[in-house]
A and B are shown apart, each in its own frame.
Chain A
Amino acid sequence: SYELTQPPSVSVSPGQTASITCSGDKLGHKYAYWYQQKPGQSPVLVIHRDSRRPSGIPERFSGSNSGNTATLTISGTQALDEADYYCQAWDSNIVVFGGGTKLTVL
């Protein structure tokens, strides 16, 4: 079965750039999606189709996908960006989520 691998945790200082990776076999041949989940809240879509931001998502969120790795980048990270982030892809009519990355802003 297809798997997506994320680092369990990433730390970033306020105002700096955070990069969260998501690895999977030939992931660049698929679309990658990213969701943000804050404690006690439902997930929120922040990136779709590799790099597109839904309306209402700040411009500091961006995405890329090539080879075996998709990357979510948060520029000028703010304290309110502290959350769990999940990547997601489709594989033969099956949805796969990565294990999630806890982003700490300190």
Chain B
Amino acid sequence: EVQLLESGGGFVQPGGSLRLSCAASGFIFSNYAMTWVRQAPEKGLEWVSFISDNGAGTYYADSVKGRFTISRDNLKNTLYLQMNSLGAGDTAVYYCAKTSSGSGSDTWFDSWGQGTLVTVSS
């Protein structure tokens, strides 16, 4: 059974940084691209970032480009999201999700974690 467990969320002041982690199990992590999706309170889903199976390919939403960095450690079966220069607009539940293949577009998100809440506030 695929399991994705996010951690690292919490309260952070505007301008601060936070690193999220997503521990994966139940599948061969190094074979699949991964993604981060966030959801602000009472709002819809917003895609954040994508990383290919070997980490060579990364994509970002315009809203986070230059501030967030996605990475992965295939030996530790863990996905990361380094978030810098955080603002109130980044307040959301952050989900990691497994994709259906190793790279490229036209993959789908077939398993999701339970999410971790990031609150940016002074």
Contacts and interface: CB of A to CB of B under 8 A. Distances in A.
Nearest to A97: B45
Contacts of A98: 44
Report the contact-size class of chain A (Cβ under 8 Å from the partner). 20 to 34
A86 B108 contact: no
B100 A48 contact: yes
A1 B62 contact: yes
B13 interface: no
B50 A95 contact: yes
Interface string B5-46: 000000000000000000000000000000101000000111
20 contacts: A33-B109, A42-B95, A42-B113, A43-B45, A43-B95, A43-B97, A43-B109, A43-B112, A88-B47, A88-B108, A90-B105, A90-B106, A92-B105, A93-B50, A93-B105, A94-B47, A95-B61, A97-B44, A99-B44, A100-B44
Interface of A: 1, 30-31, 33, 35, 37, 42-45, 48-49, 54, 84, 86, 88, 90, 92-100
7 shortest A-B CB distances, which residue pairs? A95-B47, A90-B105, A100-B44, A42-B112, A48-B108, A97-B45, A93-B59
